[in-house]
Amino acid sequence: MELLIDKTLKELREWAIKNNLERFRADQIYQWMFKKWEDDPAKMTNLSKELRTWLKENAKFHTLEKIDKVEAPDSVKYLFKTDDGYLVETVLIKEKDHWTLCVSTQIGCNVGCKFCATAKDGLIRNLTVGEIIDQLFWVQKDIKDLPKPWNKVRNIVFMGMGEPLANFNNLKKAVEILIDQKGIDISKRRLTISSSGILYQLRKMANDEVLRNVNLAISLNAPNQKIREEIMPITKTNPFNELWNLLVNYPLPEGRKITLEYVLIKDINDQIDHAKELAKLIKPHRKRFKVNLIPYNPSPILPYERPPQERIYAFQKVLLDNAIIATIRWSKGQDVFGACGQLRAKREIPLLNN
């Protein structure tokens, strides 16, 4: 059986012709999948009965198995299993008037950030295009009958498990499927790629005509080389100053800003002096940056803690006093193990490859 959700419309048309189907049938199937989120050929009513039967026997619409769903008032966490037995997390986050979906791009991660539960695994493998898209497919199927605006994911952030740009080709094709107006039709302005700041991959993104038009978020997490290297060892080979120079000169689409994500970790990077150093760095370029302060979401398998609330607000005030856009993103889904890797760590399911 052939998976269909990892194909662009052009590829689906080629698949249809190869299987002696009319080209327009591919367009119909594409719309059933990505406009109506339908995975049952029997319900694709504008297809002939014979074609529906054929699809049921020769095509498949999922490559992930949904094995867990944990709900909290502000988020829903999904746990999926791949065909080869690995676990993938996806988090649906409830904003004021829309959903944001946090999508994973790898199983594990080789970046090695000290404060991240996913890093404990190391990198197992990249997710395929189908596995990236299927996270959205399962979630959309789950919410499509809710009242508006809660029946559709509006924003997608590649901030789940893994370093998205390390899975560059699969990420790019997934983005192409996501932005296709004939299908899912997510605006480039509502797609965000979050990176740990590996210079080679950022330069590659800056030169890519598809990916450079979506939003960029950088996990900065420190105001200098020393602190960043302590919690993000990749900084040894991707120096802070070189990263900052790249960001200052990054080719931004008109009206966009780069989001600087800053996870506040108690007694590590949360002092007023750290805030002042960060403000000094950003202030000359404040029109191209905004800061997203993220109080650390504690993990049962890591030693780090969240700073006290008054310290979080004091850090933000330093930035605001310097006319820098700085918001606090209070971690959602703590009741559902919201930080990357936590629900996976809690669910001890034997991996088929072990």
Catalytic residues: 89, 340
Nearest to 340 by CA among 103, 98, 83, 96: 103
Task: Write the burial class of residue 4 (CB in 10 Å: 0-12 exposed, 13-18 middle, 19+ buried).
Answer: buried
Q: Are 86 and 76 in contact (CB under 8 A)?
A: no
Using the CB atoms, write b or e for 101-126: b if 16+ within 10 Å.
bbbbbbbbbebbbebbbbbebebbeb
Q: Which residue has the tokens 């590829």?
A: 11
Which residues lie below 8 Å from residue 309, measured CB to CB, with a gap of 6+?
none
Nearest to 92 by CA among 104, 100, 82: 100
Q: Are 66 and 36 in contact (CB under 8 A)?
A: no
Beta strand 59-60 with 2-3: parallel, antiparallel or unpaired?
Answer: parallel
Task: Write the burial class of residue 25 (CB in 10 Å: 0-12 exposed, 13-18 middle, 19+ buried).
Answer: buried
What single string gives the DSSP state of each residue in 273-311?
HHHHHHHHHHGGGGGGEEEEEEE----TTS---PPPHHH
Nearest to 234 by CA among 119, 343, 133, 124: 119
φ, ψ of residue 84 in degrees (nearest 5): -100, 15
